[in-house]
Amino acid sequence: MGRMNGFVGRRNVLKLAGIGSAGLAVSAAGGFLWGAQEAVTPQLAEAQTKPQPVSPDAALQRILEGNKRFVAEKRQNLSTRSRLLETAVAQFPFASILSCADSRVPSEIIMDQGLGDLFVVRLAGNVASESCIGSLEFATAVLGTQLLMVVGHERCGAVAAAVKGDPLPGRIGIFVEEIKPAVRSVQGKPGDPVENAVVANVKYQVNTLKEGSSILSSLLAEGKLNIVGARYDLDTGELTVVA
């Protein structure tokens, strides 16, 4: 496992998580999930030029500049056949995104990034659930993304449901419950209660990521990762850092 893209190999990931290799399920083929990229034939792997690592600050700047291009209708990142073939070999995303699943907030478009640039996890309400945290641990520790951005957005339906507080059918209430602590933190404050809660929820999920994962907290302590939060404006297309 010496050809890992990111900061730590399989054994070190297990050390960060505080578990032993015996506690990790092995696939039927006998390999670990994140060994799939290494299974690419060496000739193909060597054919792709691995990009230089991007620092947390540089990654954030790259996203914000991309958003400015999107707002100005000057997008530069369009899918090409050559890029498709390049990313089919291996992936080297420079940032991880935890975003709401809202159809109006596609990260690659609003940040003007291309294939293979972002590792995106989307869930209604941009909630840092256990599964989401696991995916983001993989992106940071294994793939080596040094920036993790939580993106909430104006008039978020999941946040509005949490503010309203009515019973919800099916499993919709599961992720809404994970927004309610943020809602409670801004109750009674001046301004629109939903918009206040949108920003509070971004901050709450950022803290959940920082405090709820030994892998992420270790990378933060080592200066290999930064976790920030942003609010997306549906009306203007602008992305603003709020945490």
Share of the chain above pLDDT 90, in %: 74
The CATH superfamily of 51-241 is Carbonic anhydrase (3.40.1050.10)
pLDDT value at 100 more than 90: yes
Share of the chain above pLDDT 70, in %: 80
The whole-chain average pLDDT of the chain stands at: 86
User: In angstroms, how far is CA 143 from the centroid of its own chain?
Assistant: 12
Burial class of 188 by CB neighbour count within 10 A (0 to 12, 13 to 18, 19+): exposed
pLDDT value at 4 more than 60: no
Q: Which residue has the tokens 């100005």?
A: 72
* Of residues 81 and 225, more confidently modeled: 225
The residues, any chain, with a CB within 8 Å of residue 59's CB and separated by 6 or more, are 94, 95, 145, 146, 147
Specify the range with the lowest mean pLDDT, choosing from 4-13, 63-72, 168-177, 214-223: 4-13
Q: What pLDDT is attached to residue 52?
A: 78
- Whole-angstrom distance, CA of residue 109 vs CA of residue 112: 5
**Closest by CA position to 219, among listed 35, 18, 16, 9:** 16
pLDDT value at 243 more than 70: yes
